[in-house]
Amino acid sequence: MKLHLNATHAYRGDWLLAAQGTFCEGLHLVSGDVGSGKSTLALMMAGLLSPAGGSIVRDGISSIMISLQFPEYHVTGATVAEECRSWGLESDPILSEVNLMDKRTTAPLALSRGELKRLHLACVLAKNYDLLLLDEPFSSLDAREKERLCEHLSRRTVGITVLFTHEQTCFPQVDHIWEIQHGELLDRGKMPDALTRWEHAPALIKKIISAGKILKNISHLDLQEAVCRT
């Protein structure tokens, strides 16, 4: 199962995003500043936006799911329960998982942004997809929910998962790091070697590395383990 970006590029006015590389099975982190083109790349990889040039080849990928940054953009159900069913899911297990059982008849857009994001992610992650694209999945989540999401993603072993984020505090265990800089997708390589090349790395990770400590990965547990190591 592979996703190939062959000299893919997209224009937005006078702004250009160029991407080249292959995404294999595992969890990929694509980092970049706000407005760097992460969402555009995610939409192109999902097939919802046609590239201006180059091609995207989905090798052995039969199911694709994209989680857009704003959960409201996914709403098609008139109630919270209907919204769960619109994803082809039983509503009760999902709603009990995200503690929204008492809001099953509420309109999804009447939920708080955090509640809606929680509900949306639970629906997206309830099924396995060959290609799962998550655009800023941590936005609107509190620290506990971010950690829960990281644990879930770290456990995911099937298919290609691509995490597009500018998050600096909370990460799952990733296999590969990419970053978008000056309109270009740069392959920083596999973990843990990618860490030394990762320019958008959070200050804490940079400090741990500069202190000469070896980081195996970037999850909270990995950071704790590296910091505590003597």
Partner 1 sequence: MQDVRMRICTATLLTLVSFFSVVGAVGVFVWWLVFTPRFHEIKRIRMVTGTLILVAVAALFISIAGGDGLSYLVRMITIILIGIWLFSEQKTGEFLHLGVWLLGNRTGFEMGMIAEMGMQMAESLAADLDRIHMAMMIKGQTWGVKTLVPAGLILVSDALVRAQDTAELMAVRGFYNGGTFCPKFTHKRYDLIPAMVAIVVVFLAFIPVSEFLILYQ
Among positions 3, 75, 195, 205, the unique one binding partner 1 when judged by CB under 8 A: 75
- Measured from the CB atom, the residue of 116 and 215 that comes closer to partner 1 is 116
Residue 76 in contact with partner 1, rule: CB under 8 A: yes
Residue 130 in contact with partner 1, rule: CB under 8 A: no
- Binding-site residue total for partner 1 (CB under 8 A)? 19
The structure tokens listed for 16 are 């250009």
- Measured from the CB atom, the residue of 10 and 46 that comes closer to partner 1 is 46
Q: Which stretch binds partner 1 (CB under 8 A): 3-11, 18-26, 69-77, 190-198?
A: 69-77
List phi, psi (to 5°) of 98.
-105, 15
- Measure the CA–CA gap between 19 and 35, rounded to whole angstroms: 16
Considering only residues 148 through 167, tell me which ones interact with partner 1, judged by CB under 8 A: none
Choose among 95, 97, 88: nearest CA to 127.
Answer: 88
State the nearest-atom distance from the C-beta of 80 to partner 1, in Å: 12
Question: DSSP of 100-119, one letter per residue?
Answer: -GGGTTS-GGGS-HHHHHHH
Among positions 24, 78, 143, 227, the unique one binding partner 1 when judged by CB under 8 A: 78
Among positions 25, 82, 97, 187, the unique one binding partner 1 when judged by CB under 8 A: 82
Residue 109 in contact with partner 1, rule: CB under 8 A: yes
Contact 108, 116 (CB under 8 A): yes
Question: DSSP of 122-158, one letter per residue?
Answer: HHHHTS--SEEEEESTTTT--HHHHHHHHHHHHH--S
For residue 22, how far is the Cα from the chain centroid?
Answer: 17
Residue 107 in contact with partner 1, rule: CB under 8 A: yes
154: which residues sit within 8 A by CB, 6+ positions away? 27, 172, 173, 219
State the nearest-atom distance from the C-beta of 125 to partner 1, in Å: 14
State the nearest-atom distance from the C-beta of 43 to partner 1, in Å: 9
Binding-site ranges for partner 1 (CB under 8 A): 46, 48, 65-66, 68, 72-78, 82, 86-88, 107, 109-110
